[in-house]
Structure 1
Amino acid sequence: MDYPIQAVVRRTGISAHVLRVWEKRYQAVVPQRTETKRRVYSESDIRRLQLLREATLLGHSISSVAKLTTDKLESLIAQSGQISVQKKADTSNGARANAAPIIQACIAAVKAFDTEALNTQLHRATVESGFNGLLRHVIAPLTQELGDLWGAGYLKIAHEHFATAAIRAFLLNPARQYAGTTSNSTVVVATPQGQLHELGAVMAASLAAEQGWHSIYLGPSLPAAEIAGVALQNRARAVVLSIIYPEDDPNIQPELQDLRHLLPANVNILVCGRAADSYAAAIEAINAVAIRDLAHFQTELAKIKAHRI
């Protein structure tokens, strides 16, 4: 028996929007089409979607489980302890219930497009934990959670753009650049051409400024020639690139190669972001440094600054 999308929504608890995202972005299921081009789903499709939803509610990203067979999904869920959906998810906003309360509050603010509420949470974290604590314990996990929710279809592009704009404004607020003294160490931060997700780059730029660097943030999706031009004009000692999504962009390798060719050998290139590991070979080929986390980033900046040229 075949079922229309409305029946699938009722039986799986997955919204029509999320279902379409999972199909288009991850090929989680491939529904049949009627003569009038309407999608219909089999009993096995519904079972698979139920398992995928439970896996995501147990904390697995849809991108990591979408290609698993139904048998492997069942095994994965069993190994995860068969924790109930109610204990692992807050269905009101899609955030995992085991996320820190401040992360849940930030996600709720993003869902509501509430800039004031989001800023309140970020200010609170800054006061309680300091700037480094804000980045490590709030912004970094929040960025990860937002990315997972966007990837799973729980957040729309508008939510992602809103969160990016609000967090960028908070972190790059000129009043926050309290390192204050003029620095002779300049770093240029951007994302490569085609990389539109910029929160990783924003975090890098703000942390570099807090560490006393003259941080020039260029924004997302710039060609290598533009990034190199700014670095040369400002005699930058380092260029930082953030790569978030996708993990298989064929343009990344040539962009990295072009950047290395355009920059003097003494200008360091650091590559950060959740997708950076996917381009490890290309990063190594240009003698750049793949950044593991914020602490590693701070260490590499300190090494560059300590090396006199």
Structure 2
Amino acid sequence: MFRKFQTELEQYRINDLERLSGVKAHTIRIWEKRYLLIQPSRTVTNRRFYNSAQLRKLMNVAVLVAQGDKISNLAALTEGEIAGKVELLKEASSPETVSITYINELTRAMLAFDEAAFEQVVQATRQRFGLHDCMVQVVYPFLRHTGILWLVNKAAPAEEHFALCIIRRKLIAAIDALPPPAQGVKKFMLFLPAAEWHEIGLLMACYMIRVKGHSVIYLGQNVPATEMERVCSMTSADYLFFLLTSARSKETIEEEMALLHTAAAGIPILVAGNPDALAVASSYGGSVIYLKNVDSLSAYL
């Protein structure tokens, strides 16, 4: 039974490989047919799937191709030789390339449920880049790269829950380690609306705001819109920031936004997550601003 469960966990579809490696599905198929880089297995219903070793190899090849290696040459190497070339990149490559190699290592540790390896990668990036750049150049891109920063309209698989729990601890510790904000800085109120529980994007936003020296009123998950009017009247926030990640109809978003806009009483609202919120935000002019990603938050810091 355990072996069957483990086998199911290690089955990746081609769109999973595309998401995790950054290589387009069409390109993956070309590499399969022309260079025999990886060979998918088939289910009883003839659906193609891949295992962890194939995903790991593809991720390493993608890094090397981005550095100028030819796919024809890489396809002739063993997996160990490919991994060795990637390891060498850490010593002599640009910070961007080094970050990509660490992001791939985090992804592999996540897929293997290897907490020790995950912790080792985070510690290595902290020692190399410092805490701030570890979060901004490795942890945040890892969340964005794997698609688990927003998790819009989908549940996280067990592997992603595993990674999220570790990163959540790291983010909270990193936020706690920051010095208190000075007087007179911008104040952001951060929260998740009612029935929203996915906190990792909110914590990342909190860290980005605090590291720039600004103040945060952090309300956390599942905050009813009816409470926001009272909270806004008691504080002097310069911005409200919230995320919408659960499946909601446009009508539900409109109702939620109307309540929050009234509660904000003129405080600018920044919203991210569900793409349907873009059209709703646009109807309020400049008082409600949709952010496509956490990077967009930097413009307000």
Shorter chain as normaliser: what TM range? 0.5 to 0.7
Partner of 2:272: 272
Q: Aligned partners of 2:160, 2:125: CA distance in 1, in Å?
A: 21
Task: Specify which of 57, 82, 92 is matched with residue 30 of structure 2.
Answer: 82
Partner of 1:300: 300
Deviates more, 1:253-262 or 1:78-87: 78-87
Query: Retained in 1: the 8 A contact 2:20–2:146?
Result: no
Q: Structure 1 pair 127/237, CA: closer, same or farther in 2 (3 Å)?
A: farther
Q: Structure 1 pair 59/242, CA: closer, same or farther in 2 (3 Å)?
A: same
TM (normalized to structure 1)? Answer: 0.61
User: Which amino acid is 2:279 matched to?
Assistant: A
Q: Aligned partners of 1:202, 1:254: CA distance in 2, in Å?
A: 25
Partner of 1:57: 17
Query: Retained in 2: the 8 A contact 1:179–1:211?
Result: no
Taking every aligned residue pair, what percent have the same amino acid on both sides?
19
Q: Aligned partners of 1:143, 1:232: CA distance in 2, in Å?
A: 34
Partner of 2:236: 235
Q: Cα deviation per residue 1:235-265 (whole Å; 9 max; x = unaligned)?
A: 2111111233447575332212111111121
Structure 1 residue 207: Cα displacement: 0.6
User: Which amino acid is 2:172 matched to?
Assistant: L
Query: Retained in 2: the 8 A contact 1:110–1:163?
Result: yes
Q: Structure 1 pair 202/250, CA: closer, same or farther in 2 (3 Å)?
A: farther
TM (normalized to structure 2)? Answer: 0.62
Partner of 1:281: 279
Structure 1 residue 145: Cα displacement: 4.2
- Give secondary structure in 1 for the equivalent of 2:216: strand
- The Cα RMSD (Å) is 4.0
Q: Aligned partners of 1:129, 1:87: CA distance in 2, in Å?
A: 37
Q: Aligned partners of 1:117, 1:79: CA distance in 2, in Å?
A: 30
Structure 1 residue 203: Cα displacement: 0.7
Q: For this pair of structures, how many residues does the alignment match? A: 238
User: Which amino acid is 2:243 matched to?
Assistant: S
Partner of 1:199: 200
Q: Aligned partners of 2:252, 2:268: CA distance in 1, in Å?
A: 21
Query: Retained in 2: the 8 A contact 1:136–1:294?
Result: no
Query: Retained in 2: the 8 A contact 1:200–1:244?
Result: no
Q: Cα deviation per residue 1:119-170 (whole Å; 9 max; x = unaligned)?
A: 443343344345553344322332234446989x99634x433333322221
Q: Aligned partners of 1:249, 1:117: CA distance in 2, in Å?
A: 41
